[in-house]
Amino acid sequence: MTRRWCTFHGDYAEDVELVRIIETGTGPGGMLYACPPCRQERGLAPLMDQPADEDDQ
């Protein structure tokens, strides 16, 4: 299992998944990753489990 940085609690953890993509008009955007406890505590779903925006279809 690969360990990855959890954006929300600020440490490495197992089963970290992408939950948000931050898009910007200029400059770098970003990505937010969360571990299972942080996803549960904050009500976050992995990006792959979220419905697509209507604008993206």
| 54 found inside a domain | no
Q: What are the residues whose beta carbons fall under 8 Å from the beta carbon of 48, sequence distance 6 or more?
A: 17, 18
For 17-43, the pLDDT digits (tens) are: 999 999 988 888 899 999 999 999 999
Res 27: pLDDT: 84
| 17 found inside a domain | yes
| 42 found inside a domain | yes
Distance CA 54, CA 44 (A): 20
Residue 18: give the domain boundaries. Answer: 3-48
| 38 found inside a domain | yes
Percent of the chain with pLDDT over 70: 91
| 18 found inside a domain | yes
| 28 found inside a domain | yes
The model's pTM is 0.80
Q: Count up the domains in the chain and report the number.
A: 1
Place of tokens 């360990």: 3
Res 1: pLDDT: 64
| 25 found inside a domain | yes
